[in-house]
Each structure stands twice: as structure tokens, then as C-alpha cells.
Structure 1
Amino acid sequence: MGRKPILEDVLYQIDFITQGRGEAVIDFIKINRKEQDLEELKNTNHSTYSSLLGAHATLQSQYRTLNEKYDESSKELRNLKEYYCYVISLSWISFSTEKTCPVCKVGWVPFNSKCYFFSTDKLTWESSRDQCVRKGGQLVIVKSSKEQEFLENKISVMGGEEKDYWIGLHDRFKDGEFVWVDGTPLSTSNRFWDVNQPNGGNNENCVQIWIESQWKHWHDFPCATPSKWVCETTSSLLPI
């Protein structure tokens, strides 16, 4: 009778140990899985990190390439600006101390701070004035002897056989009182009439630069005479 309690106690302890061992195995499996998950996460992160390093290196290489191309383009642009301004300087241009030169729309010719359009078609004085406005300018206002010389030279080269061009001067409001298209009266210092001009009285109230034979300055003509025309507008300044 004394052995049965002992046997039961031993069996109980064996069962307890067995259960504890089973729980320990389960815990071990869980821990092992967590370690595997951590290892996989580490490997994944390492792979992602390596990919990011590779992408970073690629971006750095592309950045260096773009910088080199930018430097090359900037140098090319500087050279083009200098060449453009040099060519312009051969065409009666005066440079400012700020190292700039004028830039004009295609078809316009630069001189100092202005751009000029020399037409090839003929219009009346009023139609010429309106056409210049549509182009973003006005009939030319001559403000200096250098500007007059520039216009005469350009008309001589570009005018072909007919070198008569309307400018923005007229006395349509009162005979003998010449004003520019912007309303400014003709100054006493900048008058470039040819000999015996103006001579048209009430019949000739608009002014041309007329180049033919010995004539190359201003002549008054009837405003309805179809003639070529010169527009002006302000130029943009290109820094160099």
C-alpha cells in the first residue's frame, strides 16, 4: 500500500516534466521563427539598402554628367553672346558700359537701344503708321545725326531701286509745323532736310528719307503716296 502513492507521485512528476518540456519546445519554435523572421527582415533591409546605395551612386553620376553638360552649354552660350554682340558692333552699334548689346525680333535690325523694321511693300503714310503700331512699334523718330546716318546707310543697302521710306514726321495739323508721331515737335538741332526742303506746302505734309542721286535726306511728299516705311521699337538688352 505504501508504494502506490510514490508511484503516482513519480508519474505526476514525469507528466509535469513532459508538459513543461512540450511548452519549452513550443516556445523554442516560436523564438526560432522570430529569429528567422528577423534574419529575413535583415536580409531584405540589406538588399533594399544596397539598392538605395546603387540608386544614389547612379544619381550622383547623372548629376555630375548634367553639371558637365551645363558648364559646356553655359560656355557655348557665352561664346554665342560675345560673337553676336561683336557682329552687332560692326553694324553701327555703340556698347554701354554695362557690357550689354541689343536684341531684336527676327526681321528687325538693331542700332543702339532701338530695333528697326524696313518694309519691302509700299503703303500710304497713315497705313504705314498703323502697320508699325500693329508690329509693336511706331514710324521711326530720328533723334540724332548718327541715327540718321544709320538709316541712310541701311536704306542704301536694303532699298533696292526705290529708296524712299516714310518716317514718323508730318505737318498735317498745321502747315510748316512738323511734329513726330508721338506728338513731339521737330527740334531745331535734329533736322536733316535736303536742299530746298520742305517745299510742298499744303500738298505735301508727310516726310520720307529719299535717296536718289545727290539726295539722301528728308523730303516732304503727299501723304497718300505709296512708299516703303521704317518702324522702330525699343530693343531688349543682352548681358554678356
Structure 2
Amino acid sequence: MRRQLSSVCLLCCSASETAGTMVGHQRLPWTNNSTQGAISVTSAKQEQEITSGFLRTCRRLCPLVGLSTLCLSLLATCAALSVLYSNESDTKPEWKSLFDYQNMSDSYLTLTKANTDLKKENEILKEHSARQGEQTKLLNRTSVKLRSISFALSLENGELKEQIVNLTSTNIQLMKEHEQLVQYKSEQEERRLNVSQTIKYLFSSNSQLQEEKRRLSEANNLLRDELFQLKEENQQLVEISDKRQEEIQNLSKKIEAFSKDDCEKLEVEVTQLQEQNQNLSTMLGKERQEAAEQERSRTQEMEQMVADVQSMSEAYDSLDLYCPVVNQRTKERICKKCHDSWRQFETKCYYFSSRVLSWSSSRAWCRTQGGDLLIINSEQEQNFVFDASRALEQSGTRLWIGMTDAEDEGDWRWVDGSKVTSDVKYWLSRQGMGTEPDDWKLDDPSGEDCGHIDTSESALRSWMDGSCNIPYRWICEKNA
């Protein structure tokens, strides 16, 4: 009987352990709740599937938990029976009756059947646990993929945020530029109206000049005809004078053959003839002087007319240069302040050369373009020319500007004669190496009498003096 109780107890223990093992296997899917949490955050569908699987697992485990509880109760019962049997075995060597043994046999058969059912359930749970393990592996792989996708999406989100910030700033800048363009367009419309009025005035002036030119041409033709007539009259007077001279010579020859009285008469006649000749010469001189004055007046009128035509031609050249025709059919023009190779800043146009010349040659080139070397009047203008020169560095960092002390050493003046003032002065100063201008004479014995900008230095400390004969680039300036 003790062996039977022991076998029943061992059977209950094995059933309990089997139930515990199955419970442990069934707990695998939700032991890694931290991992599944990340999956549930990334996908609501996965969360629903896991929840439904958990509920199905709970439904299958509820009978198992009941069986485990029953086994524990049977184990406690076996322990109590064992204790009773031990107490009674000391006094009674056998069972009280066959009925108790039959009850124990029935309990054993029940437990055996329960154990068989538990083994079958254990096999089912093992298969289910294997499937759950495969699902767990699949979920882990899916979790890794989702984490990588989440990381990529996070990076893409950061890039999109940066792009949004950049686009926002670009949008603000474009709005500002749009406002500036609208303002510039309104200004251009006003200038266009002014230019249209100027063009109308120029056309009317051109018509008047053409009419004046035609009138002067007619006057010139008349003056040419009069001059030709005067030349013919002058030729006739010369021929008359020559005849008079021949007559005088003939009379002189006759005088020798005449008597004294006849000579006196002839002298009187010669004197009269000489007076007549002198009068004719005086008249001829006056006529020549009048013809010369008329010719001079006509020449002056022609020169003035040529100057007017030249001025009109230059005006039209300037018109084509600064107000080019954009529509040949309607002759519409769009005006600009500066030529294509010049840059505008405020009310002036600036030219930054790519070639190199001496200071005097660069100034002569600027003057042929209607301007002169640069005169700096403000800090804003200094910053503009410095930045523009640095952006267009091609043949060195030094550029001539319109500043010199060639007339009086140390008395620096601009090309318009104004003095370089202390409030607009940006000479270079190096720590421990002195301050510009220093009139260095080692390179040129005559010294350094011309000013230039060095873009390798800072904007407000970039003026230097140099030899006027060294070729540098240059900066021209003229009114817009």
C-alpha cells in the first residue's frame, strides 16, 4: 500500500512538473514584453495579433491550471494518507478493510487516466510551444526590420525637418527679394516713363537738328556760290590790274620818247593810273577780306553744325548703349543705369579691370570711358569695392584707386583734387611693421606716390602706397 501511495505521489509530482514546464513554455511569448512593446508601438496590427494569441493561449492554459491544482490537492491527500498509514502501521500491519484498498485503486486509476490526459495535453502544448517559438523568432526578425525602418524614418524625419527649416528661410528670403523686385519694377516704370519723355524730346530735337542741318546745307551751297563768284570777280580784278601794269609799263616806255611837258602830263596820268590801281587793290583787298570773313563764318557754322551732329550721334550712341531696343517691331527700349561690364552701387557705376596697367595709364583708360579712378567717400563704399574686388581676383590682389601724393609728398589727394580726410581713411597697419603709407624707395628710387587696395588684407585696413610705374589692376568710377 505504501508503494501505491508513493507511486500516486510521484505521478502527481510528475504531472505538476509537466504542467509547470508547459506553463513555462507557454509563458515564452510574453516574457520579452520590452521587445514586443517596440513592435506594438510601430505596428497596431502586430499588437492585435499578439493580444489575440495571448488570449488563445490563456484559454488553452486554463484547464491545465485546473489540473495542476487538482494534482496539488491529490498530493496533499497522498501525504495525509501516508501519515495516517504510518501511524496505523505501527499498531496494525494490514488495512482495516478491503473497501479502503478499493478506494485507493480507484484513485490510482483516476490519476493514471489524468496523467495520460496530461501527457496528451503536454504533447499538444509542446507542438503549440514550437509554433509559438517560430512565431517569436519571426516576430524578433520583424522587430529588427521595424527598428531599422524606424531608424531610417527618424533620419529621414530629421532631414525633412532641416529641409523645412531651409525652405522656410529660403521662402522668407524669396519674399524679401520679391518685395525688392516689386519696388525695383515700380522704379523702373518711373524711369521708363522719364526715358520715354526723354526719347520724345530727343526725337523732336533730332528733327529740329535735321531741319537746321538742311538749312545750313542750303546756306553753305549759297556761300559756295557767292565764294565762287567772288573768286571770279577777284580773277577779273587781277586781270584788270595786270592790264593796268602793262599800260603803265607801256606808258613808261613812251615817256622816254616824249618831251618834258609831255612827261609831266604823262606823270600826272601815271599818278592817276597808280591811284586808280591803288584804289582797285584796296577794293580787291576789302573784297578778299570780306570773302575770308564769310569763309571763316561759314567754317565756324559748319564746325558748329558738325559738333551738333556729333553730339546728337553721341546721344544716340548713349541711348543705344544704356537704353537698348528690346523689340525691333515696336522700337521699345529698356534703360539701365550702368553698362554691362560695370557694376552699380547706390548712384555710381564701378568697373573692376582684369588687365594690369600703371597708375597713369589706368586713369587714362577710365577717363576714356567717361569716368576716373575710384574715389572712396564712405565705409559702405569701401566695403563694396573691397568685396567686389576680392570676388573678382584674377591678376593679383592689388588694384589702383584715384589717390596720389605726387605733387606734395605726404599730402594725399583724390583725382578730383579733394584731400583724403581722416574720417574716410583705411591705411594698412601691421603690428611691429609700421603703418602705410611708408614711401618705400628700395623698389623705386622715386618712392611710392600712388594709392592702391590690397584685397589680401582686411576691408578697413587695405590701403597701401606703391610705385606709380608698377602695373596693377584698377577700379574706375562714374555717375550712373
1:107-146 CA-partner distances (Å, limit 9, x unpaired): 0000001000000110000001100000110001000000
Distance 1:181 1:214, change over 3 A: closer
Give 1:82 shift: 3.5
TM-score, with normalisation over the residues of structure 2?
0.28
In structure 2, distance between residues paired with 1:103 and 1:175: 38
In structure 2, distance between residues paired with 1:107 and 1:210: 22
2:417 is aligned with 1:183? yes
Match of 1:137 among 368, 371, 377: 371
**Greater C-alpha Rg:** 2
Query: After superposition, where does 1:65-214 map in structure 2 within 5 Å?
Result: 82=181, 85=184, 103-160=337-394, 162-195=396-429, 196-200=435-439, 203-212=447-456
Q: Determine helix, strand or coil for the equivalent of 1:123.
A: coil
Give 1:85 shift: 3.8
Distance 1:84 1:204, change over 3 A: farther
Give 1:192 shift: 0.8
Which residue in 2 is equivalent to 1:229?
A: 474
In structure 1, distance between residues paired with 2:182 and 2:470: 41
Higher helix share: 2
Flag structure 1 segments of 5+ consecutive residues without an equivalent: 1-78, 87-94, 236-240
Q: Is the 8 A contact 2:452 2:463 kept in 1?
A: yes
TM-score, with normalisation over the residues of structure 1?
0.55
Give 1:217 shift: 1.1
Q: Is the 8 A contact 2:375 2:402 kept in 1?
A: yes
Give 1:163 shift: 1.6
Q: Determine helix, strand or coil for the equivalent of 2:340.
A: coil
Distance 1:84 1:108, change over 3 A: farther
Distance 1:185 1:116, change over 3 A: same
Q: Determine helix, strand or coil for the equivalent of 1:103.
A: coil
Higher strand share: 1
Q: Determine helix, strand or coil for the equivalent of 1:172.
A: coil
Amino acid at match of 2:453: I
Which residue in 2 is equivalent to 1:30?
A: none
Amino acid at match of 2:425: R
Amino acid at match of 2:353: S
Percent identity of paired positions between Structure 1 and Structure 2: 30
In structure 2, distance between residues paired with 1:207 and 1:159: 18
Q: Determine helix, strand or coil for the equivalent of 2:456.
A: coil
Distance 1:166 1:233, change over 3 A: same
Distance 1:162 1:103, change over 3 A: same
Instruction: State the 4+ residue runs in structure 1 displaced beyond 3 angstroms.
Output: 81-86, 213-216
Aligned residues, how many? 146
Amino acid at match of 2:350: Y
Flag structure 2 segments of 5+ consecutive residues without an equivalent: 1-177, 193-335, 430-434, 441-445
Distance 1:185 1:157, change over 3 A: same
Which residue in 2 is equivalent to 1:49?
A: none
User: Larger relative CO (CA 8 A, sep 6+): 1 or 2?
Assistant: 1
RMSD: 2.9
Q: Is the 8 A contact 2:352 2:474 kept in 1?
A: yes
